[in-house]
Structure 1
Amino acid sequence: MNNAGEAIKNGLQQTGSWNIREDAIELTVNYNPSYGFLGDLFEATVDKFGGTTGMAKQTGNFYSDVIGARGDAGSNFANHSQANALTNSGIKWKIDNGGFDVNNGEHTIVSFGSPVGRSEMEKTINLANSNTGNN
């Protein structure tokens, strides 16, 4: 239920970059607009329990694009709440529909307020790694 500005602020806070002024950081926000309480609940339910919404597909493409662009430099994602379900569902979808290349860099996903358990997300990441030959 955040607006885009709040999403940026939360991203800066959750990555520990809110008060840093001397070092520039790179932050790309994958913002999920609200469709109201019922719409958001439906979207979260579909992605959590095995379906794939359009937003999850966009998220899978987003992660693949960012990881591909960052390559060996690595990347760090900070998900909050429903973004974890979108990420998990989207990466699975991307693996099944065009591949998900994690490159050789160190890529991390940090979860806050997640409806997706650590072990479930870890399985998805391991699946992405096994599809590209990376570990």
Structure 2
Amino acid sequence: MLDLLKTYCGGCHCGGLAFEAAIDFSEGTSRCNCTFCRKTRNWTAATTPEHFRITQGGKLIRKYDATDQGGNYHCFCSICGVRLFSEGDIPELGGAYVTVAIAALDDASIEELKSAPITWMDGLHDNWFSPPQETEHL
């Protein structure tokens, strides 16, 4: 398989936090219907910790664990509140991960986003490996 990693820049609304992430949009993106993702209209692209770095404002990051189980966090700017990425470690899914919020990317083209496949997950029913019956409202 071809490695189509491209480095994208992103950040929050106030400009306090910035990051770089190498992403291969041909590998797809994900959307979920769990209570957190539904409320944040979450759309993400996966990368690995070695392909992600904070370039500005690391001290502004705040972390929220939506599961209250520790180790898997949604990260956002403490000033403007924009959610930028999630990070954690889920052995069943391959270990350490970073998922970047598509909305936080500054330089992904409309064409790249339109062509990126979306994998839907039914997190609302803890059926993570199957799509929900309905996705139009998400």
Query: TM-score, normalization: structure 1?
Result: 0.28
- Higher relative strand content: 2
- Higher relative helix content: 1
Higher relative contact order (CA 8 A, sep 6+): 2
